[in-house]
Each structure stands twice: as structure tokens, then as C-alpha cells.
Amino acid sequence: MSLKLKISQACAGLAFVFTIVAADGSGAAAQNRTPQLLTPAGAAATAPDNLLPGSYAPPSDADLRPAREEKLPPPVQTATDEAPALTAPAAPMVSQVAATGSTALTHELECLAGAIYFEAKSESLEGQLAVGRVVINRSKSGRFPSSYCGVVYQRSQFSFIRGGQMPAIDHSSRMWQNAVAVAKIADANAYPSPAEGALFFHAARVSPNWRLTRVARVDNHVFYR
């Protein structure tokens, strides 16, 4: 081979090498390559596919520790958080009757006591109170006479009234004294009636089929409004 030919071949080889080296930095080649992420020490070998190059960072030690459950201190008890004080129950009916006494009756209270005595003297004190409150409720309803005596003496309302008169009463008896005390308590509304709001009552042994709202049964009477 001539010296001229050898020199020509050598020049051609050098031109090919320079062409390959220059192509590694071109834009086209960079777009066709898959970007390679640098893997920091201690991180996973591959990064999530949806992250852009340079945006992936391995979890820190703090991220790997389980989250601590934060415990809040208990709420401070204030005066408004405390349960309201319970209201002391009313004194038993028998105590109120004993403390009330049976003296100094007005005419109106005597009519009220008479109704309690004749209708409920054999009932409990609560039963007597319920009867007394019916008389009082009627006097305030606007549907009956406006006084206790007017309610008691109204025609055909109380069976113990005969010929417009109330039968004689032994005022020294314990039953009368109880009736008087109950009448005063009922008049003062000093004790809750077990049949509050009632305007009518009848003995439990009968069934008049009244179309009224039943309020309660107390002892041997059924009360309605």
C-alpha cells in the first residue's frame, strides 16, 4: 500500500471518532434517552414513576418513625360544667297537713273542705288533694261558677249536696281536721296534685264513658279534664 493511501485511511478513521463524540451532546439524543435519577445513599434503588427528575427525595428518619398520638390534657372543670343542684323534694303531704292545722276557716275554704270531706275522707291525703284541686280548677276555668261555694253547690254536680244543703259534719273528728288542712294546702297550691288540671272525676267502680281526656286514677277516683 502506498504511503498516500495509508494517510487517507487514517484521516477517515479520525473523522468517524470525532462524529460519535460530538453526537453525545446533541438535543435529539438527549430527548430519546430515559432520564437516570441519582439514587442517594440509603434510598430505594428506583424512584416513583410519576416524579420528575430531581423531585424525588428519600424519606428521612423522621418520616419513617410512626406518628405519635398526641394526647390532649383533660378539660378544666368549671362552674358551668357542674351538674345543677337537685331541688329538695317537697315535704311529705302528711307533714304539711300536720303543720297546717284546721283553724280560722273562711266560708269559701269551708265549702272546699266540705267537698274534700264528703267525696274523699276515706282516701289518701293525695287523693283528697286531687278532689280539692278539681273544685279549685273549676272555679278558675270560666266554665263553672267562679267561687268554691258556687262550684260545690252547683245543681247536679256533687251528690252529697241534697236540697241545696251540705250534711252536718262532726268538726271534732280527725277526718274533718285533715280535710280542712288539705283544703288550705290545695288553695295555696302548696303541694302538687297527682291529677293536676282535672275538672271532673268519678268513682272507679263506675264507667260513665265520658268523652274526656283521662288525667289519672288516684285511689278510688278517676280524674279527667
Q: Residue 133: which of 112, 107, 111, 159 has the closest Cα?
A: 112
Domain boundaries of the chain, sorted by first residue:
93-194
Q: Is 132 exposed, middle or buried (0-12, 13-18, 19+ CB in 10 A)?
A: buried
Alpha-carbon separation of residue 81 from 26, 69, 71, 90 (angstroms): 76, 27, 22, 27
Residue 116 has pLDDT above 90, yes or no: yes
Name the phi and psi angles at 224, rounded to 5. -135, 165
In angstroms, the Cα distances linking 134 to 53, 110, 170, 186 are: 92, 15, 24, 10
Question: Which residues neighbour 188 within 8 Å (Cβ) at sequence distance 6 or greater?
Answer: none
pLDDT at 43: 43
pLDDT above 70 covers a percentage of the chain that reads 56
Which of the four CATH numbers 3.30.70.360, 1.10.10.2520, 3.40.350.10, 3.40.50.2300 does domain 93-194 have? 1.10.10.2520
Burial class (CB in 10 A: 0-12, 13-18, 19+), 2: exposed
Q: How high is the pLDDT of residue 44?
A: 43
Q: Dump pLDDT digits (tens) for 46-78.
A: 443 433 333 333 444 444 444 444 444 444 333
pTM of the model: 0.58
